[in-house]
Structure 1
Amino acid sequence: MASSYPPPSPGAPAPTHTRIPTRQLPPLTPFPLPAELPTLPSPPRTSPFPEYVLSTHLTPCARPRASPTSTTRRVRPAYPPSVAEEGSITPEARGKRAEVVERLTKRMWEQWEEVSRAPSWETQDVKEGEREREPQLWAVVNRFLRREQTGRGVTLFLAHSNGIPKETWEPLVGMVLQRYPVDEVLVWETFNHGDAALVNAAHLGDTYDWVDNTRDVLQFLTYHRPLTAAAAPVHLPLHEREAQPRKVIGLGHSYGGEILLRAAVYSPQLFSCLIAVEALAVPPHAYAGKGWDMLRRTTLSRRSVWPSLADARASFLRSPFFKNWHPAVFHAYVTHALHAHPSSPGAVALKQSPYDEVVCYFNPPSPAETWALLPELDEAVELRWVMGRDPGTFTGGEECVGETVWRRRRRASNVRLREAGHFIPQEAPELLAREVVDVLLRLHGPPAQKARGQVQARL
Structure 2
Amino acid sequence: MDELQKRIPPLTGPLLPLLPPKPLNRRLPRLPPRPATSPSRSAIAPGWTCDSLVLPAAFPRMFPNNTKRPTDPTRDPTAAAGGTKPDSLNEGFDRLVREQLEAFTHPVSLDDRDELDKQEQLVIVGNRYRPPPPRSRNAAPSGPGLTLVLSHANEVWEPVLQDLVAELERRDSTLPIEEIWALDCTVQGDAAILNEEVIGSTYNWAENGRDLLNFIAYYLDAQDANSDSSDSLPRPAPDVPPELGLLDNVASIDPGSAIPTERTYRGRLIVGIGHSLGGSATVFAATACPALFSSLVLVDPVLSPPTMFDPRKTALVAMGALRRRGVWNSRKEAKESFLAKPFFRAWDPRIVDGYVDLGMHELGTGQVALKTKPFYEAITFLGSLCDTSLRSTLRLQDLTRRLPLHYIFADTGRSMLPEEATSYLLEHATPHATWTRVPGAGHLVSLEKPTETAHRLAEFLETTYPNGGGGGNGSLTKAAPAKL
What CA deviation, in whole Å up to 9, does each residue of 1:74-119 have, x standing for no partner? 772277799xx87xxxxxxxxx63323322221112212321221x
2:454 is aligned with what amino acid?
A
Paired residues of 2:49 and 2:130 also in contact (CA < 8 A): yes
1:71 is aligned with what amino acid?
T
By how many angstroms is 1:50 displaced? 2.4
Q: Give matches, 1:158-237, under 5 Å.
A: 158-160=150-152, 165-180=153-168, 182-226=177-221, 231-234=223-226, 235-237=233-235
| Structure 1 partner of 2:259 | none
**Alignment counterpart, residue 145 of structure 1, candidates 120, 124, 130:** 130
| Structure 2 partner of 1:379 | 401
What CA deviation, in whole Å up to 9, does each residue of 1:316-335 have, x standing for no partner? 11012101111111111111
1:50 correspondence with 2:70 = no
Q: Distance in 1 between matches of 2:24 and 2:323?
A: 37
State how many pairs are aligned. Answer: 408
| Structure 1 partner of 2:477 | none
| Structure 2 partner of 1:331 | 353
Q: Distance in 2 between matches of 1:138 and 1:64?
A: 12
Paired residues of 1:20 and 1:372 also in contact (CA < 8 A): no
In structure 2, stretches of 5+ residues that fail to align are 1-8, 35-39, 136-141, 169-174, 227-232, 242-263, 471-484
What CA deviation, in whole Å up to 9, does each residue of 1:326-385 have, x standing for no partner? 11111111111111123x22x111111111101122232311101111111112211111
What CA deviation, in whole Å up to 9, does each residue of 1:385-443 have, x standing for no partner? 11112546732x11122112333445311122231010100111111101110111112
| Structure 2 partner of 1:126 | 112
Identity of aligned residues (%): 26
What CA deviation, in whole Å up to 9, does each residue of 1:106-155 have, x standing for no partner? 1112212321221x123x1134x873552110000000012214344111
1:434 correspondence with 2:455 = yes
Q: CA 1:37–1:252 in 2, change beyond 3 Å: closer, same or farther?
A: same
Which segment drifts farther, 235-244 or 304-313? 235-244
Paired residues of 1:268 and 1:381 also in contact (CA < 8 A): yes
Higher relative contact order (CA 8 A, sep 6+): 1
By how many angstroms is 1:444 displaced? 2.0
Paired residues of 1:75 and 1:104 also in contact (CA < 8 A): no
Q: CA 1:444–1:51 in 2, change beyond 3 Å: closer, same or farther?
A: farther
| Structure 2 partner of 1:93 | none
Q: Distance in 2 between matches of 1:219 and 1:148?
A: 28
Paired residues of 2:167 and 2:454 also in contact (CA < 8 A): no
Q: Distance in 2 between matches of 1:298 and 1:130?
A: 32
Paired residues of 2:100 and 2:203 also in contact (CA < 8 A): no
1:420 correspondence with 2:441 = yes
| Structure 2 partner of 1:156 | 148
| Structure 1 partner of 2:283 | 261
1:298 correspondence with 2:286 = no
| Structure 2 partner of 1:65 | 61
Paired residues of 1:79 and 1:353 also in contact (CA < 8 A): no
1:136 correspondence with 2:121 = yes
Q: Distance in 2 between matches of 1:99 and 1:125?
A: 41
1:362 correspondence with 2:362 = no
1:23 is aligned with what amino acid?
G
By how many angstroms is 1:53 displaced? 1.6
Q: Distance in 2 between matches of 1:322 and 1:58?
A: 29
| Structure 2 partner of 1:77 | 76
In structure 1, stretches of 5+ residues that fail to align are 1-18, 87-95, 450-459
| Structure 1 partner of 2:20 | 30
Q: Secondary structure at the match of 2:149?
A: strand
| Structure 1 partner of 2:372 | 352
**Alignment counterpart, residue 239 of structure 1, candidates 223, 233, 237:** 237
| Structure 1 partner of 2:251 | none
